[in-house]
Structure 1
Amino acid sequence: MKWKICGMREMDNIQEVAKANPEYMGFIWAEASPRYVGEDFVIPKEVLGKTIPVGVFVNRAVSSIIELSQRAGFTWVQLHGEEKEDEILALKNAGLTVIKAISVADNQDVEGLSEAPDFYLFDTKQGKQTGGTGQRFDWDILASYAAGKPFLLAGGLSKENAKEAMDLSKRYPIHALDFNSKVEVKAGLKNVQEVREISEILAEN
């Protein structure tokens, strides 16, 4: 099972987490987030070649995302705002792989979705918060998902429920599990030991 650690920020922590070999590592370029990396952040060499870096955005202009991808060194983007289909297609035409995040509270949230993104990411809806809630949504809602696009599962994932989440891939097209706040010491700083344990759990099953 592929997996992603999102909300990375501290350089030493990034290097240690990269040693656990997650397939993806997310870096947040959204000023409102406590995990915001800052405009001058560049993907560290310890990540490149070991894991795929993902730039995470909320309602940022397409041109700005493209420029930043070239400067910071990522080719995957994750969108948590109200991005329209034409914006998603523009990013794809620029050579970027697009993950569109969907906040989930009920069945309607996963129905009738566009085919434009390369992947979806399903996270827990909690007010206006865009990701990092630490809360799990009702996974039975996934039965209403019919778009067929592979997706990343997020929302309250931890070492305690990693195996249960992975088992869902027998029923749904889960591309990867996405871990964030439940494996943190504080916002932007991951518990390296828990990350290693997650890596072992996913490797064994």
Structure 2
Amino acid sequence: MKWKVCGMREMENTQEVAKLKPDYMGFIWAEASPRYVGEDFVIPLEMLRETIPVGVFVNRAVDSIIDLSRKAGFTWVQLHGEEKDEEILALKKAGLTVIKAISVSDPQDVKDLSLTPDFYLFDTKKGQQTGGTGQRFDWDILAAYTVGKPFILAGGLSKENLEEAIELSKKYSIHALDFNSKVEIKAGLKDVQEVREISEILAEH
């Protein structure tokens, strides 16, 4: 089972989490987020030898994302806004792999989705908040998802519900599990021991 730790920001913390070899690590370029890394942030690729870095955005211009990908050092992007298919296609044409995040609260949210993104990420809908809610949605809603694209499961994932999420992966095409606020000491700072315990559980599967 692949896994992702999102909302990284502190350099030393990033290095410690990277040693646990998550498949993906997310860095957020959205000013409204408490995990915003800042415009001049460059991903420490020397730390991420076995981890794919992902740039996370909310309604940012395509050209800006492409420019930043070259400067900051990512080839995967995660989009949490109202991005259209043509914007996703432009990012893919530029060589970027695109994850489209969908906020979920009822079955309609996962129905009739486009085939354009490479992956979907399903997170919990909570007002206008785009990710990082620390809450999980009703996973029974996933039965309404019929597009067939593999997806990343997010929203309140923790050590406590990890085994249940792993069982869920036997039923649905879950590409990876995404951990963020439930493994934090504070916004942007991960509890390394908590992440280590998660990595050990996942290694058993």
Instruction: Report the Cα distance in structure 2 between the residues aligned to 1:20 and 1:65, rounded to whole angstroms.
Output: 28
Instruction: Report the Cα distance in structure 1 between the residues aligned to 2:47 and 2:39, rounded to whole angstroms.
Output: 18
Pairwise CA distance, 1:15: 0.1
Contact 2:45 2:73 (8 Å CA) reproduced: no
Q: Deviations over 1:24-51 (max 9, x none)?
A: 0000000000000000000103433220
Spell out the pairing of 1:1-205 with structure 2 (5 A cutoff).
1-205=1-205
Q: Deviations over 1:141-175 (max 9, x none)?
A: 00000000000000000011111101111110000
* Aligned amino acid, residue 110 of structure 1: V
Instruction: Report the Cα distance in structure 2 between the residues aligned to 1:165 and 1:136, rounded to whole angstroms.
Output: 11
* Aligned amino acid, residue 148 of structure 2: G
Between the two proteins, what is the percent identity of the paired residues?
A: 81
Contact 2:2 2:175 (8 Å CA) reproduced: yes
Pairwise CA distance, 1:74: 0.2
Secondary structure, in 3 states, of the residue corresponding to 1:170? coil
Instruction: Report the Cα distance in structure 2 between the residues aligned to 1:46 and 1:181, rounded to whole angstroms.
Output: 25
Secondary structure, in 3 states, of the residue corresponding to 1:196? helix
Secondary structure, in 3 states, of the residue corresponding to 1:175? strand
Gaps (5+ residues) in structure 2? none
Instruction: Report the Cα distance in structure 1 between the residues aligned to 2:203 and 2:49, rounded to whole angstroms.
Output: 20
TM-score by length of 2: 0.99
TM-score by length of 1: 0.99
Secondary structure, in 3 states, of the residue corresponding to 2:17? helix
Secondary structure, in 3 states, of the residue corresponding to 1:157? coil
Gaps (5+ residues) in structure 1? none
Secondary structure, in 3 states, of the residue corresponding to 1:66? helix
Pairwise CA distance, 1:203: 0.6
Instruction: Report the Cα distance in structure 1 between the residues aligned to 2:45 and 2:134, rounded to whole angstroms.
Output: 29
Instruction: Report the Cα distance in structure 1 between the residues aligned to 2:96 and 2:48, rounded to whole angstroms.
Output: 16
Secondary structure, in 3 states, of the residue corresponding to 2:202? helix
Contact 2:18 2:48 (8 Å CA) reproduced: no
* Aligned amino acid, residue 30 of structure 1: A
Instruction: Report the Cα distance in structure 2 between the residues aligned to 1:137 and 1:46, rounded to whole angstroms.
Output: 35
